[in-house]
Amino acid sequence: MAPIVQGTGEVIVIMGVSGAGKTTIGNLLAEAAKCTFLDADDFHPDSNKEKMREGIPLSEEDRMPWLQGLCDALKERIIAGKITVLACSALRKRYREILRLSDPDHLPGRHNCSVKFVLLNVPVEVLSDRVNNRLANGEHFMPPSLLQSQLELLEIDVSEGILQVDATQNPSVIVKTIGDSLIQTKASESY
């Protein structure tokens, strides 16, 4: 994949429920694009992580400061002209709109935002296996019991233009698909 053009700040959010592969794909995409990778989980306060460990879904009051912190961090990177790949669940449209506000030039309802979203689609049974395996290996704090609540929160509005990718494919194929799509999108926007 060719590097994304440097000089203009841009954020690519790899989104989906727990177990979709956000961190794996995000890291690989950032490596291929020669840019920075951030994991939204690293921005959660310990209190949020503890709630999730205990199988308690986060409330809106838990999520809003976390999302605002992400927005602020991304805004700094966009203003500095940096490219960033962010792994973030971004399950609801209003959460994605908060992340879009990290683009200082973004006007709600417009599609020419510097924050792009890619949904990793994975069947429920595959997600369940992945989450169970991660928990058994001590690789994540999210228990399988919260997967259903995440699936219920997931909202996809086709008007948002979110790229949807089959995340059961080989990670290199997924990264190439995302890269090819973003490159084509950037080329078509210049006309």
pLDDT recorded at residue 2: 39
Condensed to tens digits (0 to 9), the pLDDT of residues 82-129 reads: 999 999 999 999 999 999 999 998 887 666 789 999 999 888 777 777
Whether residue 135 lies inside any domain: the answer is yes
Mean pLDDT, rounded, for 166-190: 77
Structural domain of 117: 10-189
Q: How many other C-beta atoms are found inside a 10 Å radius of the C-beta of residue 72?
A: 12
What does 112-169 look like in DSSP terms, one character per residue? --SEEEEEEE--HHHHHHHHHHHHHTT--S--GGGHHHHHHH----GGG--EEEETTS
Residue 44 pLDDT: 92
Q: Please check whether residue 5 lies inside any domain of the structure.
A: no
Residue 3 lies in a domain: no
* DSSP count for the chain of H helices, then E strands: 7, 5
Instruction: Evaluate whether residue 46 is within a structural domain.
Output: yes
Closest to 163 (Cα-Cα) out of 109, 95, 106, 111:
111
Confirm whether 2 is domain-assigned: no
Residues 6 or more apart whose CB falls under 8 angstroms from that of 5 comprise: 186
- What does the pLDDT read at residue 191? 31
CA distance 167 to 135: 20
Give me the CATH number covering residue 14. 3.40.50.300
Decide if pLDDT at 43 tops 50: yes
CB 85 within 8 A of CB 36: yes
Contact 180, 52 (CB under 8 A): no
Polymer length in residues for the chain: 191
Residue 147 lies in a domain: yes
Report the number of distinct structural domains present in the chain. Answer: 1
Q: Is residue 77 part of a domain?
A: yes
Q: Does residue 13 register a pLDDT over 70?
A: yes
Residue 1 within any structural domain of the chain:
no
Which range, 70-74, 109-113, 147-151, 182-186, is most confident?
70-74
